[in-house]
Amino acid sequence: MTSYRPYPSPLGARRDRTALIVVPEYRGYRIQVDAVAVDGRWNADVRLRRLFSEDKPHVERVTCYKLTPQHAERSAEIWTRRWIDGQGGE
């Protein structure tokens, strides 16, 4: 599932394409990935929330220095799924 919102451009240009990756359920977690502009490239912020839990979400910045926000978000989503698999997600 993907929801949409505007991206700020790292180079100051206006962008009309928007996106935010949200995986509602992956092995007992909800994953939200948001691109972040850094020095003309893109990294991603990841929020992991355990489903049916009162715990606070785990927030992580994935450093990937991709050229587009879509590539940064996709890379962060793959990294997050691997992290969950390594933690023994349900």
Backbone angles phi, psi at 62, to 5 degrees: -95, 120
Q: What is the mean pLDDT of the chain?
A: 83
For residue 72, what pLDDT is reported? 94
First to last CA, the chain: 20
C-alpha gyration radius of the chain? 14
CB 72 within 8 A of CB 42: yes
Please tell me the distance from the alpha carbon of residue 32 to that of residue 66, in angstroms, as a whole number: 18
For residue 88, what pLDDT is reported? 76
**Ranges of residues in the chain whose predicted pLDDT is under 70:** 1-19, 89-90
What is the Cα 37 distance to its own chain's centre?
A: 13
Q: Which two tokens stand for residue 60?
A: 């992580």
**Is pTM beyond 0.85 here?**
no
Domain parsing of the chain, residue ranges: 2-87
